[in-house]
Chains A and B, each alone.
Chain A
Amino acid sequence: MIQISVFLENKKGKLAEVTKVLAEHNIDMCAISIADTTNFGILRIIVNNPEKALEVLREAGYTVNTTEVLAVEVPDRPGGLHRVLDILSKGDISVEYLYSFVRRPAERALILFKVDDLKAAKEILKRENVSVLTEDDVNGL
């Protein structure tokens, strides 16, 4: 799953400028998260058209990168997320950050993981029958 990351200064109105660009180009966000420090923030989004989002944001002068993240479906009940984290931890995979989707199917939560070893994480989750979603799965929601 491709994530779009945008560098933002921690200042009033900065986020609205980005969402305006996305809205103007009819780009749909299905997951959003912001990491912030005193001076700067990193906006992380999952969109329906990452190539276009990258292009229009760069055109608008932003510092933008793409990163591959894992979209994992977990049961929406106590212990659901824990099971996935436990599998990753036992598999010696370190989680840099995670956040959840805005949209989701009933009784399912969709969590995005940025991990240090993407390939190994995919394999381990597959082995444990945890479903890892693709772009098509998400766009079909």
Chain B
Amino acid sequence: MMANKKHHKSWLKNEEAKSSRNRSYYGIKEGVVEMYWDKAHECMDRQQLKELQSRRLVETVRRVYHNVPYYRQRMQEMGLVPEDINGVEDLHKLPFTTKQDLRDNYPYGTFAVPLSEIVRIHASSGTTGKPTVVGYTRKDIITWSELMARTLVCGGTTRDSVIQIAYGYGLFTGGLGVHYGAERIGASVIPVSGGNTKRQIMIMKDFGTTVLACTPSYALHIAETMEEMGIKKEELKLQYGIFGAEPWSEGMRREIESKLQISAIDIYGLSEVIGPGVASECQYKCGLHIFEDHFIPEIVDPETGEVLPEGEEGELVITTITKEGLPVIRYRTRDISALNYEPCKCGRTHVRMKKVLGRTDDMIVVRGVNVFPSQIESILMEIGETEPHYLLVVDRVNNLDVLEVWVEVSNRLFSDEVRKLEELNRRITNEIQSTLGLSVKVKLVEPKTIERSEGKAKRVIDRRKL
């Protein structure tokens, strides 16, 4: 343990020294503003990049093997020792890590450093009511800030920007992630957090906001509210939008861009990996560059786990190679994407992932919150339903995601009194809202309203037109 800690410190010093060499770069090519935060890394020669990844992977594997009993056990089960991993080409030998694995080790079991080294804890919603906990060392916060700085610069942010952060602050990684990146760049940060749309618009107008960071659905909602308030986009100084935390379509991008007269980019991340800052579109908007000097992506067959050939669609798997607090080895994101290694016009050499196409599980993302059908199921079972039949219906009303939960009323739950049924409705609503941290509308429905299919029951209807 002592030896590892010593090693960990020297590594930290080295990385800090490197990060201070960052220079932001701006230029114009073919009418598109070219911007980099860390050009040396973002445009790194791919051979060098591979060597860097290999070095960092070997180091990460050694670290998790020695510091995380969970990873050591998994590797031992497979007959692996750290010496078996000599570079990126050996990555496929390592075991996968799933959200379930992290949850089984709740809360801190997969941390690779003692808690005294952890300076920040975030959490994301899990499937059983218990969140997945993620920890950051001081160095991780620096890494994350750097990656978010790259992301924001990709989207058009500079030190002259006034950035309004309307992602939620708190356990959710969105708000603070963007915040640290924006401060790192030296932009003027307005940490307004989510909600209170009219106030957001007032601030945007009066404070001269130039960059808006929020979920895409919220950006559209802001645009609609502006129309209702009679505020024209010309009254705003808004130029760029940094949107993520939920899936959105090209159609939605066009709508946001025309309604707010901005350039909107898609960003990608997940708290288990680091939060936002895993990948970002550049101004060419043709896939999201995964910051490969920190993460190694793979696309696997979600059923067999087999690594798929370049360009094929499958489940995105990510290995972190610089994270200290919670390194993840071959983390199954459950997001469906594909990788494109062709050079991008922007000059960045990092691989581009396709805009997320869907999920391999039933999880839905509603207003940036992960929702699993099984969460609803366990709530209904607690209320006394032995075999709950329910359906999650997600829709986008006035550009805001709305989640309805349909619950079939069984003889067990039923009462001849309206008051008791309304009480039941309220109770289910409250339980779900406090578990998800998201407002929902519960609808009691007759038995057999919800379609039964062979095998797996359909639990989700997503009516959002993405």
Interface: A28 (CB within 8 A): no
Interface: B414 (CB within 8 A): yes
B422 touches A63 (CB 8 A): no
**CB-nearest residue of chain B relative to A40?**
B444
The segment out of A1-9, A75-83, A101-109 that lies at the interface is A1-9
Kindly state the separation between the CA atoms of A15 and B236 in the bound complex, as whole angstroms.
Answer: 55
Could you tell me the distance in whole angstroms from the C-beta of B276 to the nearest C-beta in chain A?
Answer: 38
B421 touches A42 (CB 8 A): yes
Residues of the A chain whose Cβ atoms lie less than 8 Å from the Cβ of B411: 58, 63-65
Chain A CB within 10 Å, residue with most, of B408, B418, B422:
B418
A42 touches B418 (CB 8 A): yes
Interface: B409 (CB within 8 A): yes
What are the interface flags for B412-430 relative to A under an 8 Å C-beta threshold, 1 for contact and 0 otherwise?
0011111101100000000
Kindly state the separation between the CA atoms of A10 and B418 in the bound complex, as whole angstroms.
Answer: 13
How many residues does chain B have at the interface if contact means C-beta atoms less than 8 Å apart?
Answer: 19
B418 touches A8 (CB 8 A): no
Classify the secondary structure of B's interface with A.
loop
Q: Number of residue pairs across A and B with beta carbons under 8 Å?
A: 55
What are the interface flags for A35-49 relative to B under an 8 Å C-beta threshold, 1 for contact and 0 otherwise?
101011010100000
Residues of chain B in range 404-452 having any CB-CB distance to chain A below 8 Å: 408-411, 414-419, 421-422, 443-449
B417 touches A39 (CB 8 A): no
**CB-nearest residue of chain A relative to B444?**
A40
Interface: A128 (CB within 8 A): no
Kindly state the separation between the CA atoms of A44 and B416 in the bound complex, as whole angstroms.
Answer: 7
Known: A63-B409, A63-B411, A64-B411. A37 touches B449 (CB 8 A): no
Residues of chain B in range 190-220 having any CB-CB distance to chain A below 8 Å: none
Residues on B facing A (Cβ under 8 Å): 408-411, 414-419, 421-422, 443-449
Residues on A facing B (Cβ under 8 Å): 3, 5, 7-9, 14, 35, 37, 39-40, 42, 44, 58, 61-65, 67, 96-97, 114
24 contacts between A and B (CB under 8 A): A5-B416, A7-B444, A8-B446, A9-B445, A14-B446, A35-B417, A35-B418, A37-B418, A37-B422, A39-B443, A40-B421, A40-B445, A42-B418, A42-B421, A61-B448, A62-B447, A63-B408, A65-B416, A67-B416, A96-B417, A96-B419, A97-B417, A114-B416, A114-B417
